[in-house]
Amino acid sequence: MSNANIVPITMPKWGLSMQEGKVVEWLAQEGALLKLGDQVVDIETEKIANTFEALDAGILRRIVAQPDEVLPIGALLGVLAPAEVSDAEVDEYIAEFQKNYVPPAPEEGEGSDGFQFIEAGGYKLRYSKMGDGARVIILLHGFGGDAAGWLFNQGALAANATVYALDLPGHGQSSKALNDSSVQHLAATVVAFMDALEIAKAELVGHSLGGAIALQAAVDHPNRVSALALIGSAGLGAEINAGYINGFIAAESRKEMKPLLEQLVADANLINRTLINDILQFKRIDGVGEALTAIAKGFQDGSRQTVNLRANLEGLDIPIKVIWGSKDAIIPASHASGLPAKVSVTVLDGFGHLVQLEAAAEVNKLLA
Amino acid sequence: MARKITYQQAINEAIDQEMARDENIVLMGEDVVGGSGSDGEMDAWGGVLGVTKGLYGKYGDRIMDTPISESGFVGAAVGAAASGLRPICELMFIDFMGVCFDQIFNQAAKFRYMFGGKAETPVVIRTMYGAGFRAAAQHSQCLYPLFTHIPGLKVVLPSSPYDVKGLLIQAIRDNDPVIFCEHKVLYTMEGDVPEESYTIPFGEANIVREGDDVTIVAFGRMVQQALKAATALAKEGISCEVIDPRTTSPLDEDSILESVENTGRLVVVDEASPRCGMAADISALVARKGFSSLKAPIEVVTPPHTPVPFAGKLEDLYVPNPDKIAAAVRATAGYNA
Amino acid sequence: MAQALSVEDLLDAYRTMKTIREFEDRVHVEFAKGGIPGFVHLYAGEEASATGVGMHLRDDDRLASNHRGHGHCIAKGVEVKGMMAEIYGKRTGTCRGKGGSMHIADLDTGMMGANGIVGGGPPLVCGAALAAKRKGKGGLAVAFCGDGASNQGTVFEAMNLATVWKLPVVFVFENNGYAEATDSRFSVSCKDIAQRAIGFGMPGRIVDGHDFFAVHEAFAEAAERARSGGGPSLIEHKLDRFFGHFEGDNQKYRPAGEVARLREETCCIKRFAKKVTGEHGITAQQLAAIDDEVAKLIDEAVAFAETSPEPEASDLLTDVYIKY
């Protein structure tokens, strides 16, 4: 059998709640030679639309799923195979795949969405855990975000690591009432989370405010942090789009929220109805407004950032990566310049603040 | 948001959480406890369908059975609201508004305006509406257009467990009288509902499904029927946008008009009688303010202008269903297409 | 039961009754001149009823009135200039000109509103009484109804509910003999409205509504019962109105000379004055001084109303939650 040379492209699972996706448009044509990271097909889930990028190199021999088809995760979208594999063998592979494919049954009950809760640092914290590698990574979202925002990253990183994504206090489904809203306190809470799960040491990947928290944790608790990856991070300079922060706190309706969220990305089409609804649903929970107001005061003063940890980078004896989208409209990519030589800096051209979402494959590669 | 509970449980939870938060909230209605004054058990019913069951055990005399005298206790709720309490009053069936309407539309609705802005009337009147229970002409109506007609009332039609909890908490915290209409068929509907308290603002429509070809505006239970129709129509290549206004008063006119601007075609689905109802109202709105966007005549799907019949076969014919909605969508989608 | 009334109390009572009378007589005149829009229902002749009750009410007690509500408002402490301006439909009115004669309300003084719906108030006072009961500070609520309202279902429902929930409510029925143009001997199915109390499990009393002292004494007992958790009471005030149902009423349903006779024979103010000057050591001069004071107040109120601005066009859309 030549099946070993044939590689399927299947409906990805983006985020814990995704059960199916819709094929929007193929960006690669049959016969195209794909390399890792090439844009292959646009897929829309109920949460978000995104481009699926090649996970393997090879020739796109067959497009199986047609535009507008809605398919469960793991369903066959297309087939990659070298030129020497015959069309008949491709047909046979497809027939075999389809015969054996069983869509995953939707899970039900407690924890079926992949999230768990733990008491730590005086809070009830929600988190998800994927993978079981020896390497331990903790993903820290930004202001107003939550653990589910790592939907394009957590699964990929979990291929060879244990990856936790956490709802910070005041966010997602974690406790909303804060004991303290400083970056230091939030960093201590991350360490308390590690204590509760008996994680001795972890790599911290932080986005935006989560980056400042990760960096603060490394400064305050050096023996607990083995590496840092800071994405579009706060804490590395003074400039910040305070209009976004204030607007996010104040926005009550879809109409107010949409233009704000569009500032997070270079491609505004990423911001769809469900994403906006999810954010609004979060914001309408009792205590969220107060929590966000307090947290915002903890790292900026309404015009500039008030926590600057840039000077601490030099003294940290751990690997540090800094990743930025060149079109970041919240915290400027210029904050990635002038960092100590030991810091590995990558600015991805053409992407916005949510670079881990817009350029997931590239960011995952950098974090791998 | 993995926890799934029913529409009915979501109502109970909203009331429970709000009563725990604010001791000025009281709940009154016919058999909302059940058993008052009897020699048997208290909380025997917890409402005729058990929606408020268990609250008496937690809140005691803040949950009050009333005599069957809707004018008396609805008026008492209104008077209490004007005197510092925040009553939730259960009018068992919306059909019973006939025996207490004065207290709602001449009293509660008027105070703030008529008293020059000096009065607040934070009362919620929860009431069950809609056909589908074989309950016949006096227990199955959709009379919310009558309330919508009255300035000073807010009128809410939650269509899902998530919405019913957030909208009810919003209603309880609102300082104006709110008519909160619960469709009896939806009580058993399950859905994701956060455990925490949250609110959904009045006057913001929910775009339940996005689409480009036809806008369907549907109310209350009809939202679910419209979604079924939209799913079926997608297979025919007709892409429907389904809009749930959530509140008929205030009405999110902008979301409807913006959607029609994009699709150019409108179907309004309402379980209320066709004349002077929401279907007529939304049609008039779009004809008046969205005329230039329209590519086809507006279609409406409503029951016939008859009382709600009893026999199952007749009641099923009476209520708009996904097939009828789909037919209307096809008609408008096919016009000059 | 009735606490002793001091000279000060009696002068206050006189001032209130006289203010109501002067207010209504003046509205009668100004309405006829065309200065007042809409329609008004005047309370003249019934002053002892509102005053005798009102003297027992605390600021946190609540009162729901009816279409003939000016007297109740004054007795509950609503400011007279604002009332007059309201009746004129002026922006300075109690309700900024948006309520009018039938809807004067001032929740700060516990006045829940005159009411254009006969029988509209009693269910509302049950709610006010429920709020008072929950506060636990001995507050009460009183509903003023006429003989007409005594036949409304809402009133029966409210009386039943008040007993079922043991609410601190007093239902005062001002039986002036006519519901609009229909005699209560025709429209009320029992001899006395007070008899209906039995059916609702509460005490009922008949009181001469022209007699301030009788009203004051009877209400003291009902208020004591309400404030101490004893539940509701019903009091029927038998009295007369000196004007028609509304201004412009031809009153042909009343026998010729009835009003003139009543003004002479049953005037509660004349009766009060005679009694207090005879038995309580109050002088005619003291009362005359109050008369002057009241006349001045009403003059000022009318001048204030007449010179006050109309509402702004923009007021049309304020104080309502939804604008289309």
Pairing of strands B206-209, B240-244: antiparallel
* CA A41 – CA A67 distance, rounded (Å): 9
* CA B12 – CA C322 distance, rounded (Å): 28
The whole-number pLDDT of residue A4 equals 73
Query: In the predicted model, what is the mean pLDDT of residues C288-295?
Result: 98
Give yes or no: B139 in active site: yes
Q: Which residue has the tokens 């911290």?
A: A204
DSSP state of A149: G
Out of 2.40.50.100, 3.40.50.300, 3.20.20.70, 2.60.40.10, the CATH code matching A3-100 is 2.40.50.100
Backbone CA torsion sign across A83, A88, A91, A97: negative
Q: Which of left, alpha, beta for B246 (phi over 0: left; psi -120 to 50: alpha)?
A: left
A 10 A CB-CB count for A278 gives: 18
CATH classification (class only), A115-367: alpha beta
Q: Do C321 and B152 touch (CB under 8 A)?
A: yes
User: Pick from B198, B206, B210: which is nearest to A285 by CB?
Assistant: B198
* CA A330 – CA A269 distance, rounded (Å): 18
C301 vs A272, higher pLDDT: C301
Question: If interface means Cβ-Cβ distance under 8 Å, which residues of chain B face chain A?
Answer: 1-2, 4, 162, 166, 194, 196-201, 204, 206-207, 210, 254
Helix (H, G, I), strand (E, B) or coil at A282: helix
The whole-number pLDDT of residue A107 equals 58
- Judge contact between B229 and B236, C-beta under 8 A: no
User: Pick from A113, A272, A286: which is nearest to B196 by CB?
Assistant: A286
* CA B144 – CA B222 distance, rounded (Å): 14
Helix (H, G, I), strand (E, B) or coil at A322: strand
* CA C194 – CA C191 distance, rounded (Å): 9
* CA C179 – CA A225 distance, rounded (Å): 86
The whole-number pLDDT of residue B75 equals 98
Opening angle at CA A229, ends A227 and A231, nearest 5: 165
Nearest CA-CA partner of C309 in C70, C40, C96, C99 = C96
Confidence class for position A110, pLDDT limits 50, 70, 90: very low
Query: In the predicted model, what is the mean pLDDT of residues A147-167?
Result: 94
**Contact list, A284 vs chain B (CB under 8 Å):** 166, 198-201
The whole-number pLDDT of residue A1 equals 44
**Contact list, A286 vs chain B (CB under 8 Å):** 196-199
CA distance between the termini of chain A? 32
* CA B286 – CA A230 distance, rounded (Å): 50
CA distance, residue A110 to nearest chain B CA (Å):
7
Query: In the predicted model, what is the mean pLDDT of residues A208-224?
Result: 98
Out of 3.40.50.740, 2.60.40.10, 3.30.1280.10, 3.40.50.920, the CATH code matching B206-334 is 3.40.50.920
Confidence class for position A112, pLDDT limits 50, 70, 90: low
State the count of interchain CB pairs (< 8 A) between A and B.
39
What backbone torsions phi and psi does residue C32 show, to the nearest 5 degrees? -65, -30
Residues 6+ apart with CB under 8 A from A102: none
Opening angle at CA C226, ends C224 and C229, nearest 5: 105
* Segments of chain B scoring below 50 in pLDDT: 1
Is C79 part of any domain? yes
**Contact list, B197 vs chain A (CB under 8 Å):** 285-286
User: The domain containing residue C292 runs over which residues?
Assistant: 7-317
Per-residue tokens: B151: 């300035």
* CA C52 – CA C205 distance, rounded (Å): 15
Q: Chain centroid to CA C218: how far?
A: 16
User: Pick from C94, C141, C164: which is nearest to B67 by CB?
Assistant: C164
- Judge contact between C71 and C62, C-beta under 8 A: no
* CA A59 – CA A79 distance, rounded (Å): 8
Confidence class for position C144, pLDDT limits 50, 70, 90: very high
* CA B151 – CA B91 distance, rounded (Å): 20
Q: Tell me the residue ranges of DSSP E strands in chain A.
A: 7-10, 20-26, 33-34, 39-44, 49-53, 58-63, 70-72, 76-80, 115-120, 123-130, 136-140, 162-166, 202-207, 225-231, 320-325, 344-348
Domain boundaries, chain B: 4-192, 206-334
Q: Do B78 and C127 touch (CB under 8 A)?
A: yes
Q: Do C321 and B64 touch (CB under 8 A)?
A: no
The whole-number pLDDT of residue A111 equals 53
* CA B157 – CA A79 distance, rounded (Å): 48
Q: Do B176 and C103 touch (CB under 8 A)?
A: no
**Contact list, B105 vs chain C (CB under 8 Å):** none
Give the residues across from A26 on adjacent strands.
A41
What backbone torsions phi and psi does residue C282 show, to the nearest 5 degrees? -90, 140
Is C276 part of any domain? yes
Nearest CA-CA partner of B200 in B164, B231, B244, B236 = B164
Q: Do C124 and B103 touch (CB under 8 A)?
A: yes
Q: What is the pLDDT of residues C242-280, one digit of tens each?
A: 999 999 999 999 999 999 999 999 999 999 999 999 999
* CA B272 – CA B6 distance, rounded (Å): 24
**Any idea how long chain B is?**
337
Q: Do C127 and B79 touch (CB under 8 A)?
A: yes
Long-range pairs, C79-86, Cβ under 8 A, ≥24: C79/C106, C80/C19, C80/C23, C80/C297, C80/C298, C80/C301, C81/C300, C81/C301, C81/C304, C81/C305, C82/C106, C83/C23, C83/C301, C84/C23, C84/C27, C84/C298, C84/C301, C84/C302, C84/C304, C84/C305, C85/C301, C85/C304, C85/C305, C85/C308
Query: In the predicted model, what is the mean pLDDT of residues C136-154?
Result: 97
The whole-number pLDDT of residue B262 equals 96
User: Pick from C93, C103, C160: which is nearest to B72 by CB?
Assistant: C160
Confidence class for position C84, pLDDT limits 50, 70, 90: very high
Residues of each domain in chain A carrying CATH 3.40.50.1820: 115-367
Mutate to test the interface with C, among B28, B112, B114 (most CBs of C within 10 A): B114
* CA A241 – CA A232 distance, rounded (Å): 12
- Our CA dihedral for A179, A180, A181, A185, rounded to 10 degrees, sits at -110
Q: What is the 3-state secondary structure (H, E, C) of B103-135?
A: HHHHHHCCHHHHCCCCCCCCCEEEEEECCCCCC
The whole-number pLDDT of residue A20 equals 85
Cα atoms in the 13 Å half-sphere on the side-chain side of C174: 31
Considering the domain delimited by B4-192, tell me its CATH architecture: 3-Layer(aba) Sandwich (3.40)
Numbers of helices and strands, H then E, in chain A: 10, 16
Query: Residue C139: what residue type?
Result: G
Q: Is the pLDDT of residue A2 over 50?
A: no
DSSP states along B84-98:
T-EEEEEEEEGGGGG
Query: In the predicted model, what is the mean pLDDT of residues A113-134?
Result: 93
* CA B111 – CA B117 distance, rounded (Å): 8
The whole-number pLDDT of residue C138 equals 97
Confidence class for position A106, pLDDT limits 50, 70, 90: low
Domains in chain C: how many in total? 1
Describe chain B by its helix, strand, coil percentages, rounded to 5. Answer: 40, 20, 40
The whole-number pLDDT of residue C322 equals 77
CATH number at C289 reads 3.40.50.970
**Contact list, C127 vs chain B (CB under 8 Å):** 75-83, 85, 87
Helix (H, G, I), strand (E, B) or coil at C170: strand
Whole-complex ipTM: 0.93
Mutate to test the interface with B, among C109, C319, C324 (most CBs of B within 10 A): C319
Confidence class for position A271, pLDDT limits 50, 70, 90: confident
% pLDDT > 90, chain C: 97
What backbone torsions phi and psi does residue A145 show, to the nearest 5 degrees? -95, -170
The whole-number pLDDT of residue C1 equals 41
**Contact list, C94 vs chain B (CB under 8 Å):** 116
